[in-house]
């Protein structure tokens, strides 16, 4: 942006809008992708070669000259909003099953969806009352700075044309799809928020249980810190003894220990052991009851040592891929077929541990899809690698 | 010729500009647009073209194109005057189509006039008006369609142009797009200056590919690998040369001479003394 501001240039486009008769004539372009014969290995400058070159260029020009013409009532219309970085659909045309997202009763298109439909001549995008050109759309939607948006759009376009339903990556399908938010959902969302710094989703926040759960967790946290149970309503506290969790560190006699100490050795081996004796302690019973209330979850071995290493990079899952014949519904998406990670130019592929880390971001194991790692090369070739982690 | 600054490099939206770059200046770039063709074919690409950073910088340095930033101009909301002018212009363009659309409708009617005629006759015969049916001619059908044609704005055609067609302003971009002193850019410019097509070499894991003619019609002849030092490690030499021999190309190592000014090329080609 810091380029010289004084160097303003007036641009008078060379191309004009088509005239009425040209519009009618070019409305249905019949462009076949040029079929060139075998490539040559050296330049010989023969007449035949020149002719071939001329034809090839003519075909390319024809292919690239295809216009985007449609009846005024024949396209969907959307309005681009700079603030929201999304296009609000104001007139639908055709099926929008796998495009856009709804928010407060309005349908919005993501930048890549809007640009894709625009380039396919299915959408008329408007900005400040003007119908935008493709060039303006690139400036508005993708921006002039080098950005991952370009690769995202490129990959989105290629995968969508290849027949996949491509949607922005979503987490927590089950909660998002079911309308009923339970107390458990609130607890999980809050845990997620405090442990992995994920924001609490909106649909959880508006739940009737949310505030109660939130306060309850703050209380519990306090109690765990203070190691005492002041609140009599506390489920964990069994009685109202204030010092119940304090250990008695003094040396003391077992209550069952008989008076004559000499005989005690034999007595202890035959009768009750010292450990058993301790089991009668009030504090022991309290711990036992407390632990019975806890769900002890065994961590998988892969869960260790992941978070400690600060050299691992975090990879973001950009898209989820669904198949067309899987009964995809925008309102209730199922587990995707693949999750897509897009590498930026020259970015090294993720290591095994980085893969695991990335997959673990998806909360529930059964919703983790195989990762499809896509790299876009400088010459705009897409290479995709599917990773299965065993 | 103007290049639009996007994604930190130059973009071309105009087909004439692109053909000129390709035919006259041997600059290929990459077609990144989505083609508006039926069937959503994944193989067809369309404008715009994204130029590599080397290509953009070369076109600027050779004085063949001017890189401009259009963000400020195309993102600001138009003044009421401009908006009104645009809307009047738009309405005029729709209105101007009335005659053309009518002519098109008549042309289509004429094409299918036999079918329409027999359909209308059958309808009249069913109603028992055999006299009128016999009197019906193709001329009268066309005349009827012509008389009944009403121009509806909803049917007017709207074009979504690729380059921005309204008069607009842009800012000259003066900052370099890539490091002019980098070996990569100097090699690119030097090879291009020798009259070859030079493209990215990532398809073969190299820095550049050299083509004797347009890549649409010719196979690459050389694979160029840029070396930061003149000394080439044996394993690297073997792997790069083996690849280039298999794909029937020569392998070129490019590096800086000790003086730091000139570029040295070392070409490795398959040698068969028995022939």
> Any chain A CB within 8 A of the CB of B157?
yes
Chain A residue numbers with beta carbons less than 8 Å from the beta carbon of B154 are 71-73
> Any chain B CB within 8 A of the CB of A218?
no
Distance CA A115, CA A99 (A): 12
Q: Is the pLDDT of residue B16 over 70?
A: yes
Two tokens, residue A56: 């090839």
Sequence spans of domains, chain B: 1-70+170-178, 81-155, 180-275
Q: How do strand A338-343 and strand A371-376 relate by DSSP bridges?
A: parallel
Among the partner residues A120, A124, A138, nearest to B48 by beta-carbon distance: A138
Q: What angle do CA A238, A240, A246 make, to 5 degrees?
A: 80
Report, as an integer, the average pLDDT of A317-338: 80
Find out whether B210 and B192 touch, Cβ atoms under 8 Å: no
Two tokens, residue B174: 């003066």
A17-21, A69-73, A296-300, B21-25: which has the minimum mean pLDDT? A296-300
Classify domain B180-275 at the CATH topology level: Trna Endonuclease; Chain: A, domain 1 (3.40.1350)
Question: Which CATH number describes the domain made up of B1-70+170-178?
Answer: 3.40.1170.20
Q: B153 and A72 in contact by Cβ < 8 A?
A: yes
Residue for token digits 């070019």? A26
Q: A250-284 pLDDT, tens per residue?
A: 665 555 545 555 544 554 455 567 777 777 778 88
The alpha-carbon gap from B37 to the nearest alpha carbon of chain A, in Å, equals: 7
Which residues sit opposite B274 in a β-bridge?
none
Q: A125-145 pLDDT, tens per residue?
A: 999 889 999 999 999 999 999
At A88 the pLDDT is 93
DSSP letter at A42 equals: S
Q: Is the pLDDT of residue A238 over 60?
A: no
Distance CA A380, CA B52 (A): 10
Report, as an integer, the average pLDDT of A204-208: 72
Sheet holding A371-376, edge to edge: A165-168, A317-322, A338-343, A371-376, A382-387
Helix axis angle for A148-161 and A111-119, nearest 10°, is 50
At A236 the pLDDT is 45
Judging by beta carbons within 10 Å of its beta carbon (0-12, 13-18, 19+), is residue B31 exposed, middle or buried? Answer: buried
At A232 the pLDDT is 45
Q: Is the pLDDT of residue A115 over 90?
A: yes
At B210 the pLDDT is 94
Report, as an integer, the average pLDDT of A2-13: 70
> Any chain A CB within 8 A of the CB of B243?
no
Find out whether A346 and A352 touch, Cβ atoms under 8 Å: no
Among the partner residues A142, A154, A378, nearest to B200 by beta-carbon distance: A378
At B35 the pLDDT is 84
Among the partner residues B31, B158, B173, nearest to A3 by beta-carbon distance: B173
pLDDT band of A324, cuts 50, 70, 90: confident
Chain B residue numbers with beta carbons less than 8 Å from the beta carbon of A133 are 160-165
The alpha-carbon gap from B128 to the nearest alpha carbon of chain A, in Å, equals: 40
Give the residue from chain B lying closest to A58, CA to CA: B19
Two tokens, residue B36: 């508006």
Q: pTM of the full predicted structure? A: 0.76
The alpha-carbon gap from A346 to the nearest alpha carbon of chain B, in Å, equals: 10
Chain A residue numbers with beta carbons less than 8 Å from the beta carbon of B50 are 150, 380
* Domains of chain A and any CATH numbers: 68-145 (3.40.1170.20), 174-226 (no CATH), 316-387 (3.40.1350)
pLDDT band of B10, cuts 50, 70, 90: very high
What's the complex ipTM? 0.88
Chain A residue numbers with beta carbons less than 8 Å from the beta carbon of B168 are 11
At B267 the pLDDT is 92
Which residues sit opposite B68 in a β-bridge?
B4, B172
Using DSSP's 3-state secondary structure scheme, residue A253 falls into: coil
Chain B residue numbers with beta carbons less than 8 Å from the beta carbon of A5 are 171
> Any chain B CB within 8 A of the CB of A344?
no
Q: A32-80 pLDDT, tens per residue?
A: 666 667 888 888 888 888 888 898 898 888 888 888 888 888 899 999 9
At B134 the pLDDT is 76
Find out whether A293 and A287 touch, Cβ atoms under 8 Å: no
What proportion of chain A, given as a percentage, has pLDDT over 90? 14
Give the residue from chain B lying closest to A75, CA to CA: B158
What is the number of other CB atoms lying within 10 angstroms of the CB of residue A304? 9
């Amino acid at each position: 942006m810091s380029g010289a501001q004084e160097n303003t240039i007036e641009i008078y486009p060379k191309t004009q809008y088509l005239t009425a008769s040209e519009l009618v004539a070019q409305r249905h372009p019949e462009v076949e992708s040029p079929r060139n014969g075998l490539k040559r290995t050296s330049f010989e400058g023969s007449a035949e070669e020149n002719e071939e070159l001329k034809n090839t260029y003519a075909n390319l020009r024809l292919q690239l000259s295809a216009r985007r013409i449609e009846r005024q009532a024949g396209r969907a219309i959307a309005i681009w909003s700079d603030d929201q970085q999304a296009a609000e659909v104001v007139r639908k045309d055709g099926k929008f099953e796998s495009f856009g997202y709804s928010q407060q009763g309005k349908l919005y298109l993501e930048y890549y969806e809007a640009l894709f439909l625009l380039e396919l001549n299915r959408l008329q995008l408007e900005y400040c009352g003007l119908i935008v050109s493709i060039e303006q759309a690139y400036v508005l939607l993708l921006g002039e700075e080098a950005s991952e948006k370009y690769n995202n759009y490129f990959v989105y376009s290629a995968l969508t044309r290849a027949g996949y339903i491509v949607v922005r990556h979503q987490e927590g399908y089950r909660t998002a799809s079911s309308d009923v938010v339970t107390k458990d959902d609130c607890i999980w969302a809050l845990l997620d928020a405090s442990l992995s710094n994920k924001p609490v989703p909106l649909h959880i926040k508006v739940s009737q249980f949310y505030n109660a759960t939130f306060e309850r967790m703050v209380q519990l946290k306090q109690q765990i810190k203070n190691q005492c149970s002041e609140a009599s309503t506390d489920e964990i506290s069994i009685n109202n003894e204030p010092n119940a969790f304090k250990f008695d560190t003094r040396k003391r006699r077992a209550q069952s220990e008989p008076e004559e100490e000499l005989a005690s050795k034999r007595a202890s081996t035959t009768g009750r052991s010292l450990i058993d004796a301790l089991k009668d302690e009030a504090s022991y019973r309290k711990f036992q009851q407390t632990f019975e209330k806890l769900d002890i979850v065994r961590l998988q071995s892969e869960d260790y040592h992941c978070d400690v290493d600060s050299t691992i990079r975090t990879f973001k899952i950009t898209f989820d891929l669904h198949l067309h014949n899987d009964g995809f519904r925008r309102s209730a998406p199922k587990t995707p077929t693949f999750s897509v990670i897009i590498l930026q130019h020259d970015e090294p592929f993720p290591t095994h541990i980085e893969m695991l880390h990335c997959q673990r971001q998806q909360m529930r194991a059964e919703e983790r899809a195989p990762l499809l790692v896509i790299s876009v090369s400088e010459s705009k070739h897409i290479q995709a690698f599917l990773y299965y982690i065993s | 010729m103007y290049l639009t600054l996007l994604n930190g490099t130059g973009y071309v939206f105009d087909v004439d500009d692109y053909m000129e770059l390709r035919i006259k200046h041997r600059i290929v770039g990459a077609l990144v647009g989505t083609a508006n063709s039926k069937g959503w074919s994944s193989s067809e690409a369309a404008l715009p073209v994204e130029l590599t950073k080397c290509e953009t910088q070369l076109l600027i340095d050779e004085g063949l194109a001017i890189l401009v930033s259009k963000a400020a101009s195309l993102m600001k909301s138009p003044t009421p005057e401009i908006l009104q002018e645009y809307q009047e212009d738009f309405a005029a363009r729709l209105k101007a189509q009335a005659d053309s659309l009518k002519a098109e409708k008549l042309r289509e009617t004429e094409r299918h006039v036999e079918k329409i005629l027999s359909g209308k006759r059958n309808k009249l015969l069913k109603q028992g008006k055999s006299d009128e049916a016999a009197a019906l001619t193709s001329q009268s059908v066309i005349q009827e369609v012509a008389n009944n044609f009403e121009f509806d704005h909803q049917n007017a055609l709207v074009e979504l142009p690729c380059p921005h067609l309204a008069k607009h302003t842009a800012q000259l971009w003066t900052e370099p797009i890539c490091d002019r002193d980098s070996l990569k850019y100097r090699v690119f410019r030097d090879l291009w200056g020798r009259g070859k097509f030079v493209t990215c070499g990532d398809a073969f894991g190299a820095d550049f590919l050299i083509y004797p003619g347009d890549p649409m019609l010719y196979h690459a002849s050389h694979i160029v690998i840029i070396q930061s030092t003149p000394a080439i490690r044996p394993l690297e030499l073997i792997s790069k040369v083996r690849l280039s021999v298999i794909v029937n190309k020569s392998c070129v190592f490019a590096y800086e001479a000790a003086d730091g000014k000139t570029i040295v090329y070392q070409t490795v080609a398959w040698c068969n003394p028995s022939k």
